[in-house]
Every structure is written in C-alpha cells, then in structure tokens.
Amino acid sequence: MKRRKGRYQETAPNKAKDRKYTSYEDAPLEEYEETMPAPTNLTKKFINVFLILFVAVLGALAFFYIDVLTPENISHWFHYELLGKTEGKGYPIRYEGISINSENFDLIGGTPVYCSDTSVVMLNNNAGDYQNIQHAFAKPILKTNGNYAVVYNSDAIGYKIMTRNDELYSNSADKKILDCDITSSGSFATLTYGNDYLSALTVYKSDNSKRYSYSFADYYVNRVSLSNDNSKAALSGVSANNGGLISVIYILDFNQENYLQKYEVEDSYIYDLCYLDNGNVIAVGETGSYYVDVGSGKKYDHYFDNRTLTTFILQRKLGALLSLSDNPDGRSCDIVSIDPDGKKEFAFSTNKKLISFDYNGGVVSALFPSEIVLYDSKGQQLAGSTVSADTRKICLSDDHKTVYSLGKSEISKSVYEYIKE
C-alpha cells in the first residue's frame, strides 16, 4: 500500500524507539497516498516511442502484404468493413414488393444499378448493396454516365445527383421536368417547362452552380444530351406543321447566346439523341436516324426504308445500335450499327424477335424470348444460354462477356466463355 510522505517521516529513525511497528489504522486512508512526481518529458517520450513502433508495424505489414494492398482492396475495406455495406451472396437476387421499369436498369462502374418505385440501388459484382438511396418520385427516370447518375421525377420537379459512392445533391426544379442529362464529370442539365416559353434548359457545373440557361419558344423541346466537356448540348423537340408533324434538333454552345445550329426533320418524331464523345450528334426517330457533324454543320440522314424500329440504344463512344424488322410485329430483326462517324459499321440478321440488346467492344449481346446470344460484328454467334421467359432487359459489362439481366422478379448475372477471333 502507498504511504504519504508525512506518515513516512513519522516512522523515521528518531521515532522508531517509540513503537515496534507502524499501525495504518491510526490515520485516515487518504493520508497514506504517496505522490510521486513524474518526469516532465515522460509523455513526449511515450508518444515518440509509440509513433516509432506504429510506423514500424505499418512498414512491416506493407512489406509482407504489399501484393494485397491494392487500391481496390483498400476501397473494399473502407466501404464494406468501415461503412458496413453489404457484401452480397451472389446472383441471381430476387426483388419483391417493388416495381422496376426496363429503362431504369443500367450499369454504373461496371455493375448494375436500378431505380425502383421507392429507391435507387447500386449493386456490386456479388449482388450486394453498394448504395441504397430512397426517393419519393411517382415517375422516376434513371440516367447514368460513367460513375455518375441522375434520377428525376418525370412531369414533376424533384431530382437527385449521385455517384456510385454518394448522393451529391437532392434538388427541385422551378418547373416540371421533361428530361435530364449528366456528364461523366458530374455536370448536369435539367430540361423543364418554361415560364413564358414552351421549354427551358438549365445547365449546372459539377459543384451544383448554374452554368447556362436557354429557353425555347417555337418548339416543344423534350430531350437533352450534354457534351462530356459540358461546353455544348444537343436537344430535340417537336411542333405542328400545317396539320403534320415537324421535329427539330438544336445544337447549343454555352459560350453563345443564340443556338449554334438548328435542323428540322419532317414527318418523323425523334425519340432520343446523344452527344457523342467525338463532338458530333446522333438522333433516332420513327423513320430514320440523323447524324449531325457539328464541325461542318452538315446533317446526314439514314432512313429505315419502311422497316419497323423495334428498339435502339445510343452510346457516346460507339454511336447507335438499331433493331429493324420487316414486319410490323417485330419478328426477324436485323441489328444495325451506326458508328461515331455516322457510317454504317455493320449489319446482320437474327431471324428472331429482339427484346433487348447491348453493345461493347465489338460484341453484341442480344435478348430473345427465353434466350441470350452473344455475336461478333459479323453476326457470328460467340456464346449463348437460355434465360427466364420474363427477362426484359440486358446490359453487357466492359469485359464483353458478363451480362446482367432484369427479370420480372429477379436480377441475374451470366458469364460467358467464347473464342473471339
């Protein structure tokens, strides 16, 4: 037991002759505490020693485990161990009690993302939830570009901007939203009804500050696509023309007050358009596709020759992929590719009814009733498998052999093996 200094002095040699031993029962307990002054530099020495040992241990771990300390593994530890995100138990995964439209199923960062009627969910390659963002949108529309995504409430005012890791902004537009778009760097645009105009475009930088605005008085503009450098935009719209229909394509430069270019298309409704990475624009309508060389200011038309457009996709790097059929009911589809230069890259027949397709790295993944087939650009079959009869949409990953598919009640993953010549 510790003793206080005063008690220690009482039992010094000059007091020893008065008693044979010291009894600690004669004084309060607190008097027996002994204060031992610590060295003033003890704390600093302890911290220095601790830091040296800590750095030494980290160095030893880095030396022995250098092969596993990759950015991917560090990111994995941060998101799944520190933030507690779900690892997943593998595909397929079932979803119940929610509704997912085909247009709201896509890839972000190489793995699936979907927007249901309640939330936006980003999955990892093992079907775990990488992110789950709730929303209250009645008519949600999802668009992705690289690692960024925008989801907006069609014909309402709400929208959200997010990455694969975070929700960045949750805002409301001034008027009801017609369309939105986002670039691979996070800048975005909202296309809304106008106050005193038919439509109004507002463009934002990636930090959510306003970059540009433009209003349309002559056409009901309802589609927008931003250039990835956020310097221009392509838009399409429609108007009446002597009892008929006339569509328009606008090219806007954010450094100019007036539009840069304007093109009209008679008797064909434009479904969608895309600002390509090479600086040009491609649009798809009822009767043909339309290519705009922005540098020269020329438009080139590719008509479908009375064939029926059953489905299509637009990609910034690759151009357009079209499914055309000689039959109004969509049987015996031909797959046609329009490259970023506006030229027909390839075309081949499938002799089947096409439901969905995707294109990546020279490989076309095609969904037919109860079947997925992978083709090369010559129409040669590379691989295939049977799938659920209710499969509605497929997405081909960047490895050109992994296909994610959306069914009525589950999301599946298929990895194909093939020999690519």
Lowest mean pLDDT among 24-33, 213-222, 375-384: 24-33
Q: Mind listing the pLDDT tens digit for each residue in 64-120? A: 656 555 554 555 555 554 454 667 899 999 998 999 999 999 999 899 999 999 999
Asked whether 228 and 239 are in contact (CB, 8 A), the reply is no
Q: Which two tokens stand for residue 351?
A: 């002799």
Asked whether 119 and 135 are in contact (CB, 8 A), the reply is yes
Cα–Cα distance for residue pair 342/345, rounded to 1 Å: 9
Asked whether 187 and 205 are in contact (CB, 8 A), the reply is yes
Cα–Cα distance for residue pair 200/211, rounded to 1 Å: 14
Cα–Cα distance for residue pair 168/32, rounded to 1 Å: 62
| DSSP-assigned beta bridge partners for residue 148 | 145, 163
Nearest to 316 by CA among 198, 161, 134, 182: 182
Asked whether 231 and 253 are in contact (CB, 8 A), the reply is yes
Nearest to 418 by CA among 386, 392, 381: 381
Write down the mean pLDDT value for the chain. Answer: 87
Q: Which two tokens stand for residue 213?
A: 């605005």
Cα–Cα distance for residue pair 14/6, rounded to 1 Å: 14
Cα–Cα distance for residue pair 1/17, rounded to 1 Å: 23
- Preceding amide of 92 cis, omega within 30: yes
Under the banding of pLDDT at 50, 70 and 90, the label for residue 55 is confident
Cα three-residue angle 305-307-309, rounded to 5 degrees: 120
Q: Which two tokens stand for residue 194?
A: 């106008």
Alpha helices in 270-365, H assignment, sequence order: none
Q: Map tokens 């497929």 to a residue.
A: 394
Residues making up the chain, counted from first to last: 421
Under the banding of pLDDT at 50, 70 and 90, the label for residue 15 is very low
Provide the 3-class DSSP secondary structure of residue 347: strand
Q: Mind listing the pLDDT tens digit for each residue in 342-390? A: 999 999 999 999 999 999 989 999 999 999 999 999 999 999 999 999 9
Has residue 213 got a pLDDT over 70? yes
Under the banding of pLDDT at 50, 70 and 90, the label for residue 257 is very high
Confidence at residue 263, expressed as pLDDT on a 0 to 100 scale: 97
Has residue 341 got a pLDDT over 90? yes
205's CB contacts (< 8 A; 6+ apart) are 187, 211, 230
Q: Which two tokens stand for residue 130?
A: 């990488």
Q: Map tokens 């999955």 to a residue.
A: 123
